[in-house]
């Protein structure tokens, strides 16, 4: 444990805690994943809402970055954002955050995360000092295993999580079933339309492309997207979605904006969702944009690495939506979870470099056939 976090938590124990009145009430769900995880969690969230008692409020604690997808949650859900970077480094922010969670006086705290950090995710849960704290048995993590094992005694209930490599949504579904005592089929990957922004009517057939990833080795080369543009009818449009900083980090993609009918789309996710609902097709690496497009029901082509086969993409057959096609290169090392043991090929994971451009273009042609 970092010394600054240790000192902060020791001081928190020594100083008077905020006063709590009345009986504990309400449910806190901790979901500490990023943007893509938050999209997937929105699908399973209704299962966890069933654990609230009549009249109780359900609050979902999200990482500050993941909270940009909170517009997908039902309106009755409260959202609490926590900056995990500051939580780890800023003692005053950490103390204030832990005090606020204690003062909230929740009845039930549930960590929905399989992979947990003992000084971040778990510290937030234990700060609540709730009568009931529930989680899955944490994913093995050599660096923190002793701390995770020690913390295991502090949960009032730990649920077996299933295999280490398992579809994330199926794992959540089984966890929710275990807590509710009611077995339900896993949800198909389709976001409830009542939680979505209205579709934007686009004047021309439009393909939304998301070529960027926080892990640059997952990105296909700009030349592929130039070929995609060239294969489209002249009157079609291609919008490259991303944060403006993506172009600064990936200047070799800038020439794509000089092609006819190509523009950059920097809209935040709530606006991008509305734009994608009016699009003809979304082509994306396996990142948050892909999960969002797939959940919106838009025809979506995912250009995936093999890193998350078995856990994220392709989704398990039981939940795979008909509007999504995932292209990836089957390899013996699939499911490495990003811990690639091979040298990059042209700055890409070998499994990404092996994607067949002709097959990608053929799949796009199939998916847009008959659309004008």
Biggest alpha carbon–alpha carbon distance for the chain: 69
The residue-averaged pLDDT of 71-87 equals 97
Look at 157 and 4; give whichever has higher pLDDT.
Answer: 157
The DSSP string of 230-261 is HHS-TT-EEEEES-HHHHHH-GGGGGGGGSTT
Q: Where in the chain is the domain with CATH 3.40.50.2000?
A: 3-180, 205-365
For residue 304 the two structure tokens come to 């995936």
| pLDDT attached to residue 19 | 79
205-365 CATH = 3.40.50.2000
pLDDT of 324 strictly over 90: yes
Please check the confidence at residue 297 and state whether its pLDDT lies above 80: yes
CA–CA distance, 259 with 227 (Å, rounded to integer): 11
Task: Note the pLDDT of residue 329.
Answer: 94
95: alpha, beta or left, given left = phi > 0 and alpha = psi -120 to 50?
alpha
pLDDT, tens digit (0-9, with 9 covering 90-100), for 156-170: 999 999 999 999 999
By mean pLDDT, which of 9-13, 88-92, 316-320, 339-343 is the weakest? 9-13
Strands across the sheet with 58-63, in order? Answer: 78-82, 58-63, 27-31, 108-111, 132-136, 157-159
**pLDDT of 6:** 57
Q: Residue 80 belongs to what H/E stretch?
A: strand 78-82
pLDDT at residue 7, as a whole number: 56
Question: Options 3.90.850.10, 3.40.50.2000, 3.30.70.20, 3.40.50.170; which CATH number does 3-180 get?
Answer: 3.40.50.2000
Q: What is the pLDDT of residue 38?
A: 97
As a whole number of angstroms, the distance between CA 358 and CA 363 comes to 9
pLDDT at 191 over 80: yes
The string over 58-88, giving b where at least 16 C-beta atoms fall within 10 Å of a residue's C-beta and e elsewhere, is: bbbbbbebbbbbbbbbeeebeebebebeebb
Question: Where do we find the tokens 């600064």?
Answer: 248
Mean pLDDT of the chain: 94
d(CA 75, CA 176): 20
CB 295 within 8 A of CB 223: no
- Number of residues written out for the chain: 372
Q: What average pLDDT does the segment 119-142 reach? A: 97
pLDDT tier for residue 372 given thresholds of 50, 70 and 90: low
pLDDT at 17: 75
Cα(102)–Cα(94) distance, integer angstroms: 12
Q: Could you give the CA distance from residue 110 to residue 36 in angstroms, rounded to a whole number?
A: 20
Give percent above pLDDT 70 in the chain: 96
């Amino acid at each position: 444990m970092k010394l600054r976090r240790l000192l902060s938590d020791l001081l928190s124990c020594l100083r008077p805690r905020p006063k709590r009145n009345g009986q504990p009430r309400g449910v806190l769900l901790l979901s500490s994943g990023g943007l893509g995880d938050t999209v997937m969690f929105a699908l399973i969230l209704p299962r966890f809402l069933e654990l609230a008692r009549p009249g109780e409020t359900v609050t979902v604690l999200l990482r500050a970055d993941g909270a940009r997808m909170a517009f997908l949650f039902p309106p009755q859900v409260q959202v609490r954002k926590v900056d995990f970077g500051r939580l780890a480094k800023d003692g005053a922010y950490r103390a204030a955050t832990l005090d606020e969670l204690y003062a909230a006086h929740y009845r039930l705290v549930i960590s929905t995360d399989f992979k947990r950090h003992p000084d971040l995710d778990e510290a937030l849960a234990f700060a609540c000092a709730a009568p009931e704290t529930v989680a899955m048995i944490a994913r093995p993590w050599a660096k923190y295993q002793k701390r995770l094992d020690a913390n295991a005694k502090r949960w009032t209930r730990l649920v077996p999580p299933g295999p280490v490599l398992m579809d994330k949504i199926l794992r959540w579904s089984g966890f929710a079933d275990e807590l509710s005592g009611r077995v339900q089929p896993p949800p198909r990957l389709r976001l409830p339309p009542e939680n979505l922004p209205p579709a934007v009517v686009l004047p021309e057939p439009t393909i939304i492309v998301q070529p960027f990833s926080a892990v640059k080795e997952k990105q296909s080369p700009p030349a592929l997207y130039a070929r995609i543009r060239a294969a489209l009818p002249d009157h079609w449009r291609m919008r490259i979605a991303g944060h403006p900083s993506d172009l600064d980090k990936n200047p070799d993609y800038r020439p794509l904006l000089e092609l006819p009918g190509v523009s950059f789309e920097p809209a935040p996710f709530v606006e991008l969702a509305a734009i994608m609902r009016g699009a003809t097709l979304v082509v994306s690496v396996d990142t948050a944009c892909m999960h969002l497009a797939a959940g919106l029901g838009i025809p979506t082509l995912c250009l995936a690495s093999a890193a998350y086969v078995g856990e994220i993409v392709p989704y398990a057959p039981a939940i795979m939506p008909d509007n999504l096609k995932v292209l990836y290169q089957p390899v013996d090392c699939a499911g490495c979870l990003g811990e690639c043991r091979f040298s990059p090929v042209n700055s890409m994971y070998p499994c990404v470099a092996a994607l067949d451009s002709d097959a990608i273009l053929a799949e796009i042609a199939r998916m847009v056939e008959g659309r004008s």
